[in-house]
Amino acid sequence: MGRIVTLGEIMLRLSPQGYNRFVQAKQFNAFYGGSEANVAVSLAVFGKDVSYTTKLPDNAIAQCAINELRKYGVNTKDIVRGGDRIGLYFCENGESQRPAKLVYDRKDSAIAKAKREDFNWDKIFDGADWFHFSGITPALSDECAKITLDAVKAAKAKGLTVSIDLNYRENLWDAAAFSKAIRELLQYCDVALGSIEEAELAIGEGDGDDCNTVLKKLVEKFQLKYATIILRNRFTAEDVDWTAVLYDGSKFYNAKKYDIHVVDNIGGGDAFAASLIYAITSNFSNQEIIEFATAGSCLKYSMNGDVNLSTVDEIIKLMNGDGSGKVSR
Amino acid sequence: MGRIVTLGEIMLRLSPQGYNRFVQAKQFNAFYGGSEANVAVSLAVFGKDVSYTTKLPDNAIAQCAINELRKYGVNTKDIVRGGDRIGLYFCENGESQRPAKLVYDRKDSAIAKAKREDFNWDKIFDGADWFHFSGITPALSDECAKITLDAVKAAKAKGLTVSIDLNYRENLWDAAAFSKAIRELLQYCDVALGSIEEAELAIGEGDGDDCNTVLKKLVEKFQLKYATIILRNRFTAEDVDWTAVLYDGSKFYNAKKYDIHVVDNIGGGDAFAASLIYAITSNFSNQEIIEFATAGSCLKYSMNGDVNLSTVDEIIKLMNGDGSGKVSR
Amino acid sequence: MGRIVTLGEIMLRLSPQGYNRFVQAKQFNAFYGGSEANVAVSLAVFGKDVSYTTKLPDNAIAQCAINELRKYGVNTKDIVRGGDRIGLYFCENGESQRPAKLVYDRKDSAIAKAKREDFNWDKIFDGADWFHFSGITPALSDECAKITLDAVKAAKAKGLTVSIDLNYRENLWDAAAFSKAIRELLQYCDVALGSIEEAELAIGEGDGDDCNTVLKKLVEKFQLKYATIILRNRFTAEDVDWTAVLYDGSKFYNAKKYDIHVVDNIGGGDAFAASLIYAITSNFSNQEIIEFATAGSCLKYSMNGDVNLSTVDEIIKLMNGDGSGKVSR
Amino acid sequence: MGRIVTLGEIMLRLSPQGYNRFVQAKQFNAFYGGSEANVAVSLAVFGKDVSYTTKLPDNAIAQCAINELRKYGVNTKDIVRGGDRIGLYFCENGESQRPAKLVYDRKDSAIAKAKREDFNWDKIFDGADWFHFSGITPALSDECAKITLDAVKAAKAKGLTVSIDLNYRENLWDAAAFSKAIRELLQYCDVALGSIEEAELAIGEGDGDDCNTVLKKLVEKFQLKYATIILRNRFTAEDVDWTAVLYDGSKFYNAKKYDIHVVDNIGGGDAFAASLIYAITSNFSNQEIIEFATAGSCLKYSMNGDVNLSTVDEIIKLMNGDGSGKVSR
Amino acid sequence: MGRIVTLGEIMLRLSPQGYNRFVQAKQFNAFYGGSEANVAVSLAVFGKDVSYTTKLPDNAIAQCAINELRKYGVNTKDIVRGGDRIGLYFCENGESQRPAKLVYDRKDSAIAKAKREDFNWDKIFDGADWFHFSGITPALSDECAKITLDAVKAAKAKGLTVSIDLNYRENLWDAAAFSKAIRELLQYCDVALGSIEEAELAIGEGDGDDCNTVLKKLVEKFQLKYATIILRNRFTAEDVDWTAVLYDGSKFYNAKKYDIHVVDNIGGGDAFAASLIYAITSNFSNQEIIEFATAGSCLKYSMNGDVNLSTVDEIIKLMNGDGSGKVSR
Amino acid sequence: MGRIVTLGEIMLRLSPQGYNRFVQAKQFNAFYGGSEANVAVSLAVFGKDVSYTTKLPDNAIAQCAINELRKYGVNTKDIVRGGDRIGLYFCENGESQRPAKLVYDRKDSAIAKAKREDFNWDKIFDGADWFHFSGITPALSDECAKITLDAVKAAKAKGLTVSIDLNYRENLWDAAAFSKAIRELLQYCDVALGSIEEAELAIGEGDGDDCNTVLKKLVEKFQLKYATIILRNRFTAEDVDWTAVLYDGSKFYNAKKYDIHVVDNIGGGDAFAASLIYAITSNFSNQEIIEFATAGSCLKYSMNGDVNLSTVDEIIKLMNGDGSGKVSR
């Protein structure tokens, strides 16, 4: 199989240690993440050939982000260097009734100010089979919306499978803008994932439909091969349950539900996307696909940072029923 | 509204990191706290004009305590400098069936050895509307009992509202001494808070009365404007439930109950007192007062250290029903 | 009462901090532990006269292990110095559905390559009343199996009480080898503890018997004074329940069951063994013995590292019903 | 004496721990500093009444900067809240032949995008005697240049003493722009400090004059009360020598020279400015002024972070000859 | 050879990390030390049989101090438990021109309030050959002065060699009180060490005599076997030079001088005392004694904490000329 | 230019933090390094295409070593997975007169037990121009000596340039064995570097020749293109001076000498080798080659860990004379 290409923004994340609040922090833990970068790292840890493209300034902090990607085996040859800054966000962990808190400082980052001509899609997609991106990328700037559209069109033209994580971020654009942009991009997609609310926005109609109805509409409207919806109930900052449904145009596949004690709330959806892509590209059965994607993302919640560091073996062990947390000697 | 004045002892708290026991500790995290200091910090974070008075030695460690108060906006102009030492306590976090463990070393601290003439109440209360203290302050020494009495009398004479957190500490005095001293101080108070057991000791009669009966007796005996009782069930070192009742002399107001996963067991009652004072001085309705006080103290349990660092917005969000811990972007 | 002697392998344990995975670790916390060393430390903390014997190289890292034992009061005079290396293991904490993960690097450690003549049992057992070891020690090497047999024979000859923690480790030997070796050693034992599965392997027959049946067979086959079986259900990496049964040849004694939130999964069984030995040698009643052993090991789970640092008072407090985690001032 | 007012930009500084390079950092130490903020903190630690004004966004990270100022006693009432972001810089400590390395990310910070109408100088200077700023403030944006000019004019009109730290930053503007802007501002100044090179740029003529000639020209051209030049030789990242000369229009005063082992290279000049202002406003003799300023800034180099945390006593002790580093019991 | 007995106060030392000042500290590193405890630990690390006696409260923090002593092999059987508190001191590291700073909080510690009857010298000295103490112990309280006198008399009576580190602490008593008390104690001593100034105070006459004259007077006045004077020049907080002279009543022995880069300024004299005792009790020649004592204490300066953790081999290597710091593989 | 291939052993290095000694360590910093791995990382940071080959077990700790190499851009495709363990060493930093201390635990590592057939040199050298190894690799085992010989022969046959860092390790073999093995390997080398002592052992004759004589003999005996000798004087654990001489068969080139304050003593020679290879393969002049190699390795000493993280720009800046450590903004 060929390379999986991902496109997005990777940011420096700064988090106070443990349960400290921002005003108590004398140190910040540094992580590097972003929706598609997290997908790329997880796929690389699974052993897939995966590349990540973005634009990053030519300074030592951006180099740290690249090094973090390389560390896990992501191919970074298509990262464009230039621009002024790497985007940042500050993330305070939540606990019990206190929610996690994010302060974004990503405006005018190198990728947000990138130009269409920065990316040579022919070259980037050379040898690739799959292209993945999220709804955050087109939201970064008008130019980024065009870059994303360039990418999906080029991917489609070259015969790649295209997947989208709908990922609606209210602080980047409003529902109408999201809805409009995503609808256009979905024309070129084969696989989509998101929450019920995001899927409804993408479809642009319906309000309060149930999961299966939404999945059906989504697949039919955009002639997708697969659509999946993640179902999450959050009880406190550290307690969620988590499952998902896959629809392949003819049948619905429901995954096991996990009651999760959360270590880090960031990156669950990205872990799901990576596991989903892995399972599809590894020719798992449809039921296995949704179980692997759900189990893989469940494990992410037990790890610090944005990325899922689970191996394929670890996920299969959980998916096959061993969620007992027995010490692995 | 005028300034809120608080009086008490602030100590250096030394805690091993994470779940480490004392005998495993190579480092201690340093916090600075004490019942009334915690109230003052929380009120300052809420945006209130609040001052804290105590006596602290003229050395660099005591300066750290003052700096910590100033950091959050507490007015420290009325802190008297002198004496030999700042009180200390060592605090080992508990977990599961293992309780938190405290070793006090507060004897002969500067405030415990302070003299009545150290405090000029006329000057301290100038421009003030409210005075708050706890049952710990009069327990520090005979002279501290007199200082506290001086303070409540002066406050009353100047027309301030006076609030007391009953706070009975068995390792400082016995029940009879507590009961006698507190009864005298309550003559000058308008607002009181504590547990059922503390309230019964303060009333000096009754044994095993229910919450409402105790509240009624307390308000009637001391002609209080408000009395509140905190109801807490502790299941393990990290699991408590928490609610409270307010009585205004005519009606009982019950707050929502929270199931809390505890990060740090110190300072819940102080957070309650601060939230209560905030809500009363901000003209909340009686139901809102008890909900705000309960939600505010609930959030404290999710934070390291002695003090509640919640903002008013965060508490109102929880009080209005969003305890789901959804990431706040 | 005389000294308690223990024999085994103590290793350097290297653990990433908090919930970090191995690939995220820039630091490792260093602990020193091993089944019998953990028993020795716990007994020393209880105030017992206890010695630990093993073989350790004459280098600074092995010295750290000895220092850790001495720190808690274990007598280390019988530790033989020599050989090339101290055994290591890497331990990644688990959380939620993600299990703890161990990577062993203990091959060719000084004790694994020790010779029978390294140990002078006459001298080691001089002044001793009790000898404790686990099923790990004979598994380290063929020579270690002989050393262990030498020890139990010498202990028996000198009239010591001998206790064994069955402790079957699949990565050291297979079930048949374990079964054969343990059966021979059990001839010389008075007290045995383990899981149902381990006890069945030790008996060498039965498959799926219930706890009491297994205990009965074990005591009868090897004419033990006491046998205990630990009953544990593991729900996730951080949630277990934990209880135990004692059989004295005539009656079964069941302990209270604890629902435990786990800080560190290593050393629960060792804490049980130490508490059991303490209770027996302190002339507790049979019911008190099993309650103390169970409560003592329950508390271990709330502590970082391999060893139980609970005092006798703390365990008795829990055993007498105060598992509420109330702050101990 | 009245309040000292300062104006500038305070940034979040993120530094890897110890000698780590950026690419090795998993944590960043967080400091909050900026030339004038550093001056304000140092003056507050000296016990002076000092306020700091700037513009900062209304988020939790900017609140940390304010808290840090308050912690040391700086009055923050004149800080305007608004805008998008707090400026950042990353700082890697140097050592031996490896220089410290700074990566700035301060563009479009709240102060850089502030408007003249954000600042009410009449109110800010009410009760003030002194105004201090540096050459960095007018460099932040064209509007900031105007804000600075507004400030010095208002200060002059109200009869305040005005001091400037020339502080030329090549990455913010070029020498010609600096020279032009500073010359205009110097019309309203009474006290100036800087390096020989900065002073020559400010004067706008001369090239390679010696220190005293430059000082004389500077004082005469702008009719200053005092001008001082810092003379620093840097040998490696951790070895500098440091002295200064003061000229009062009639006489030159030379300070003792210190051979310094550097802990942190940031903030030496700011510590000098603060000590200079302290000494002048405390009516020290001219020789004492330059000795105090030099000794105070010498001590800064031994501290982590941007700010000088020396007390007046500590500086006087050094200035009076005790640089032996004898333990202060 | 028999046991070496030491008597004194061990305190908890709390130090900010690295070069942080007290006001910057969010954590304190915890060390346990005191002049004689430091001597005891160093002798234990050298392999000597050494015990330490003091009085410590029966709480978990005092237990940490005992554990630290046991860790290095010090016999703690003669430590009396009781009293209220363990003494504390806070220690801020110095650097360059900034001196280390100590804040003591040792008043009313268990040993300062100990009674003569707490110590059974007959039992403590049973099996002992040597008794060591410092001039700090009699300064702790009047009763401690008596306890020290009891000890030296009992030691003398039992034929032990008695050594004193003069150790004058200005914050505990004045020169006259020190002089008087020490003179009495010196009657019972065989070996004394200190600075020129301390020796002159002990002699009670002379002012500005040179080192050899002082040594001669000291030995003659108190009929000592050995007296040594440490000669230290301090240049900055991190640069000292260090040598010593030994006088045996007939001849002076000068040690090599070391230029030291200081990691931690505490405990140099104690390391000297321990090395001196080791060398004397190991029958080194007089020249070797003073070289070993000087080299041993030189190495202490390169270590964190109060105690010298050098082995005999390491000191001999340095003493024999290899101070090149070549990596020891 | 083609790829640079390196071969050797990469180990996990465990170092106590800061100046802590082993017996004080509760944490170890984890680094991954080895002579040739350090060369590979430095070359990758310089931007060269470089691969590293070795054998590592298929476990999570070995994966960390691979990730560390990938992080900096080293190609790890030729690392063979298998065997039992990754080698370890413990490294305690030195300071002042106290030397750094190493405890090795590298016996029976995967590479030490590797077989000749594990490596397919044809494939490994495909597309390569240069092969580098050190005298440590053949010392790991008899089979490793053969593997190294296979490699140099294959490299030579394929026309690669071959470089050797002589690197004699006394704890792996004796001088005679080293001398014999290295002489055989040098037949196939083009570039050699080392100390005078190592070069003399390699030549197998001469004793006490001066640097130039040794260089001349070395080049002539083995018909090398370049030989360099590093000249280091060590004064204390933290103070060295450092320079080098290059001989090209006709002329000697002397580099500038640096007085270095050492942060970490490991990896200086490896940094030299990497800088040397970089300079040669970048067609620097001979004088530039030796200056670049010396300046590059000088900078290494200012960094934590085994590897040089300097960029080409940083080295050229130092080499061109700016060693003043001026802050790089």
| Per-residue pLDDT tens digits of chain F, which is 329 residues long | 799 999 999 999 999 999 999 999 999 999 999 999 999 999 999 999 999 999 999 999 999 999 999 999 999 999 999 999 999 999 999 999 999 999 999 999 999 999 999 999 999 999 999 999 999 999 999 999 999 999 999 999 999 999 999 999 999 999 999 999 999 999 999 999 999 999 999 998 777 889 999 999 999 999 999 999 999 999 999 999 999 999 999 999 999 999 999 999 999 999 999 999 999 999 999 999 999 999 999 999 999 999 999 999 999 999 998 767 777 77
Residue C266, SS3?
coil
Cβ contact, residue pair C323, B95, below 8 Å: no
Across A231-240, A241-250, D319-328, F117-126, least confident range: D319-328
Helix ranges, chain D (H): 35-45, 60-71, 121-124, 142-157, 175-186, 196-203, 211-222, 268-281, 286-300, 312-319
The pairs formed by B309-317 with CB atoms below 8 angstroms and a separation of 24 or more are B309/A21, B309/A23, B309/A24, B309/B41, B309/B42, B309/B45, B309/B72, B310/A98, B310/B42, B310/B45, B310/B271, B311/B45, B311/B46, B312/B46, B312/B47, B312/B278, B314/A98, B315/B275, B316/B292
pLDDT at B283: 95
Across A110-114, A325-329, B100-104, E118-122, least confident range: A325-329
- Residue A193 neighbours by CB under 8 Å, 6+ apart: A163, A164, A165, A166, A227, A228, A229, A230, A269, A272, A273, A276
To test the contact with chain F by mutation, choose from C32, C64, C172 the residue with the greatest count of F C-beta atoms within 10 A, namely: C64
Does domain F3-319 fall under CATH 3.40.50.620? My reply is no
Structural tokens at position C96: 């939620």
Judge whether B234 is closer than 8 Å to chain C, CB to CB: yes
- Residue E248 neighbours by CB under 8 Å, 6+ apart: E219, E225, E226, E286
Burial (CB < 10 A; 0-12, 13-18, 19+), residue D122, is exposed
pLDDT in tens, D14-26: 999 999 999 999 9
Structural tokens at position F39: 């060369």
Question: Alpha-carbon distance B212 to A235, whole Å?
Answer: 31
Cβ contact, residue pair F90, C61, below 8 Å: yes
Q: Which of A299, F76, A253 is nearest to A313 (CA)?
A: A299
pLDDT at B205: 78
Subunits that touch chain F (at least 3 Cβ pairs < 8 angstroms)?
A, C, D, E
Judge whether B23 is closer than 8 Å to chain E, CB to CB: yes
Please tell me which residue of chain F has the smallest CA distance to D232: F326
Residue B17: what residue type?
Answer: Q
Q: What is the pTM of this model?
A: 0.96
Residues of C in contact with A326 (CB under 8 A): 99, 234
Q: How far is A69 from chain F (nearest CA, A)?
A: 7
Report the Cα–Cα distance between both ends of chain B, in Å, rounded: 33
Please tell me which residue of chain D has the smallest CA distance to F327: D100
pLDDT in tens, C123-160: 999 999 999 999 999 999 999 999 999 999 999 999 99
Cβ contact, residue pair B96, C303, below 8 Å: no
Cβ contact, residue pair F102, E329, below 8 Å: yes
Cβ contact, residue pair C71, E73, below 8 Å: no
Q: How far is A215 from chain F (nearest CA, A)?
A: 39
- Residue D110 neighbours by CB under 8 Å, 6+ apart: D54, D55, D56, D57, D62, D82, D83, D84, D85, D86
**In contact, B97 and C323? CB cutoff 8 Å:** yes
Structural tokens at position E181: 């008390």
pLDDT at B323: 66
**In contact, E98 and E237? CB cutoff 8 Å:** yes
Residue F285: what residue type?
Answer: S
The pairs formed by D154-157 with CB atoms below 8 angstroms and a separation of 24 or more are D154/D121, D154/D122, D154/D125, D155/D5, D155/D121, D155/D125, D155/D128, D155/D131, D155/D188, D156/D188
Please tell me which residue of chain A has the smallest CA distance to F71: A71
Residues of C in contact with B237 (CB under 8 A): 302, 325
pLDDT at D325: 72
Share of chain D above pLDDT 70, in %: 99
Phi then psi for residue C66, to 5 deg, are -65, -45
Q: How confident is the model at residue D323 (pLDDT cuts 50, 70, 90)?
A: low
**In contact, A265 and A237? CB cutoff 8 Å:** yes
- Residue B281 neighbours by CB under 8 Å, 6+ apart: B1, B4, B48, B129, B130
Rounded to 5°, the CA angle F273-F64-F270 comes to 10
Burial (CB < 10 A; 0-12, 13-18, 19+), residue A197, is middle
H or E segment to which residue D229 belongs: strand D226-236
Q: Which of C230, C241, C238, C292 is nearest to C265 (CA)?
A: C238
pLDDT at B178: 97
Burial (CB < 10 A; 0-12, 13-18, 19+), residue B257, is middle
When pLDDT is averaged across residues D186-196 and rounded to a whole number, the result is: 98
Interface of A with C in 259-278 (CB under 8 A): 260-263
Place of tokens 């993945």: A132
**In contact, C292 and C310? CB cutoff 8 Å:** no
Q: Among E21, E169, E238, whose Cβ lies nearest the Cβ of D309?
A: E21
Q: What is the mean pLDDT of chain C?
A: 96
Q: What is the DSSP track for B53-90?
A: E-EE-SSHHHHHHHHHHHHTT-B-TTPEE-SS---EEE
Judge whether A90 is closer than 8 Å to chain D, CB to CB: yes
H or E segment to which residue F157 belongs: helix F142-157
Rounded to 5°, the CA angle B211-B216-B217 comes to 100
Across A113-117, A208-212, B204-208, F275-279, least confident range: B204-208
pLDDT at A323: 66
Q: How far is B16 from chain C (nearest CA, A)?
A: 12
Strands A226-236 and A239-247: antiparallel
Residue C75: what residue type?
Answer: N
pLDDT in tens, B25-56: 999 999 999 999 999 999 999 999 999 999 99
Q: How far is E66 from chain C (nearest CA, A)?
A: 8
Place of tokens 């007192």: B273
Structural tokens at position D280: 């002048």
pLDDT at E238: 93
**In contact, D37 and D83? CB cutoff 8 Å:** no
Place of tokens 């409003």: A174
Judge whether A232 is closer than 8 Å to chain B, CB to CB: no
Phi then psi for residue C164, to 5 deg, are -130, 135
Judge whether B204 is closer than 8 Å to chain D, CB to CB: no
Residue B164 has pLDDT above 80, yes or no: yes
Question: Alpha-carbon distance A34 to A304, whole Å?
Answer: 14
- Residue A256 neighbours by CB under 8 Å, 6+ apart: A243, A291, A294, A295, A319
Residues of F in contact with D237 (CB under 8 A): 302, 325
Place of tokens 């005018």: A108
Question: Alpha-carbon distance D125 to D131, whole Å?
Answer: 8
Q: What is the mean pLDDT of chain A?
A: 96
Question: Alpha-carbon distance A264 to C265, whole Å?
Answer: 21
Q: Which of A152, A86, A88 is nearest to A113 (CA)?
A: A86
Q: What is the DSSP track for D50-112?
A: EEEE-EE-SSHHHHHHHHHHHHTT-B-TTPEE-SS---EEEEE--BTTBPPEEEEE-TT-TTT
Instruction: Report residue F70 CA to chain centroid gap.
Output: 18
Residues of C in contact with F61 (CB under 8 A): 22, 90, 103, 105
- Residue D119 neighbours by CB under 8 Å, 6+ apart: D53, D80, D147, D150, D151
Residues of D in contact with E102 (CB under 8 A): 327-329
Q: How far is E286 from chain D (nearest CA, A)?
A: 31
Please tell me which residue of chain F has the smallest CA distance to A60: F311
Q: Which of D94, D29, D103, D31 is nearest to A30 (CA)?
A: D29
Judge whether C26 is closer than 8 Å to chain F, CB to CB: yes
Structural tokens at position A78: 């298509």
Subunits that touch chain B (at least 3 Cβ pairs < 8 angstroms)?
A, C, D, E
H or E segment to which residue F132 belongs: strand F128-134
Backbone φ/ψ region at B210: left (φ over 0), alpha (ψ -120 to 50), beta: beta
**In contact, D328 and E102? CB cutoff 8 Å:** yes
Cβ contact, residue pair A325, C23, below 8 Å: no
Residue B1 has pLDDT above 90, yes or no: no
pLDDT at F38: 98
Question: Alpha-carbon distance C15 to C38, whole Å?
Answer: 17
pLDDT in tens, B62-75: 999 999 999 999 99
Structural tokens at position B293: 């006080």
Residues of D in contact with A85 (CB under 8 A): 105, 107
Residue A313 has pLDDT above 80, yes or no: yes
Cβ contact, residue pair F64, C108, below 8 Å: no
Q: Among F27, F63, F85, whose Cβ lies nearest the Cβ of C28?
A: F27
Cβ contact, residue pair E99, D310, below 8 Å: no
pLDDT in tens, E216-274: 999 999 999 999 999 999 999 999 999 999 999 999 999 999 999 999 999 999 999 99
Cβ contact, residue pair B327, A97, below 8 Å: no
**In contact, C46 and C312? CB cutoff 8 Å:** yes
Judge whether E20 is closer than 8 Å to chain B, CB to CB: no
In the predicted model, residues of chain E with pLDDT beneath 50 are none
Structural tokens at position E210: 């040179």
